[in-house]
Amino acid sequence: MNISTKLLHPLFVGEVRGIDLRAPVDAAAVAAIVEASNRYAVLVFPEQNIDDAQQLAFSTHLGPLETSIKKLRPGHKLRLDQRVSDISNVNFDGGLQAADDRNRMYGLGDRLWHTDSSFKAVPAKYSLLSARAIPPAGGETQFADLRAAYDALPDGMKRQIEDLVAEHSVLYSRSTIGFTDYSDEERARLPPAPQRLVRLHPGSRRKTLYLASHAGWIRGMPVPEARLLLRDLMEHATQREFVYTHRWKVGDLVMWDDRCTMHRAREFDMAQVRDMHRTTVSDEVSSLEQAA
């Protein structure tokens, strides 16, 4: 095995060739990928054409896998294994989702800048997304480098936010685009999760912002002030120099570190199929329990 990496973005995106993720990988290969991920945060693996079983097998090497929160809704039928998030506009029967399909409405929230599962007490560590079908235009995924964004903050702002704790809620982020279709039971099950606003990224020992559209409150701060600060930081972190746009090809697999990046999906023609499958590796502890 001879892994080679090419820069796709000068700050934080590497393209990895020389490894077949469909085949069993050994500990040395996993260590090399983790090391590359610690450096780049976003890794693009072209031409993998992986299936769900192979994607699950590879992802498991990186840590415990999350299960989709959609499975928790009574009566909701999953198209895929519950450890594979269905990021598609396809319904259970294989047709395109109707315009008012609840899953489509929910999925539109992915167009907001976010990091996966920051609304869970123990959030995501890595996400792995593979392209099974893509529309002829649009549907890109954009990534933002939150370590570089942190580095570029003025010292005064770094001091101001150093010890702040934000509360993240998927109900909040969806509500900002008018999606509020949650039962009382779901609301009770998805309380806001506290997360540090500034984290130390364990693999690189670099400080990073930890932001997402899910963040709606900051502990000890009046709500309007907190939301303005969060907006300012999101705006700062998504400036052009910190952003990479991935234009998908069928067969691509992209792996990113959720602890130090944000991402969002871009718009496309909903009459076209976009079928992406995500596996998500859980972090070990809440960001509050990690070293500051």
Q: Closest approach of Cβ 197 to Fe ion, in Å?
A: 19
Binding mask 65-104 for Fe ion (x = CB under 5 A): ----------------------------------------
| Number of residues near Fe ion (by CB under 5 A) | 1
Whether 21 and 30 have beta carbons less than 8 Å apart is answered as: no
Tokens of 159: 């001091």
DSSP string, 10-45: TTTEEEEES--TTS---HHHHHHHHHHHHHHSEEEE
Q: Closest approach of Cβ 258 to Fe ion, in Å?
A: 8
Closest CA to 85 of 104, 64, 69, 109: 69
Q: Which of 66, 116, 252, 283 binds Fe ion (CB under 5 A)?
A: 116
Question: Which position's Cβ is nearest Fe ion?
Answer: 116
Q: Closest approach of Cβ 135 to Fe ion, in Å?
A: 18
Stretch that binds Fe ion, among 29-37, 94-102, 115-123, 184-192 (CB under 5 A): 115-123
Q: Which residues contact 129 (CB under 8 A, 6 or more apart)?
A: 87, 141, 253, 254, 255, 276, 277, 278
What residues form DSSP beta bridges with 108?
none
53 vs 77: CA distance, rounded Å: 19
Stretch that binds Fe ion, among 110-118, 148-156, 175-183, 252-260 (CB under 5 A): 110-118
The dihedral over CA atoms of 106, 78, 186, 281, expressed in degrees to the nearest 10, equals: -80
Q: Closest approach of Cβ 269 to Fe ion, in Å?
A: 21
| Amino acid at position 8, single letter | L
* Residue 19 vs 254, nearer CB to Fe ion: 254
Binding residues among 173-212 for Fe ion as defined by CB under 5 A: none
* Residue 114 vs 199, nearer CB to Fe ion: 114
* Residue 15 vs 116, nearer CB to Fe ion: 116
* Residue 116 vs 167, nearer CB to Fe ion: 116
104 vs 223: CA distance, rounded Å: 29
Residue 252 in the binding site for Fe ion (CB under 5 A)? no
Q: Closest approach of Cβ 41 to Fe ion, in Å?
A: 14
Scanning 51-145, the segments in alpha helix (DSSP H) are: 52-60, 102-107
Whether 213 and 113 have beta carbons less than 8 Å apart is answered as: yes
Q: Closest approach of Cβ 245 to Fe ion, in Å?
A: 15
Residues that bind Fe ion (CB under 5 A): 116
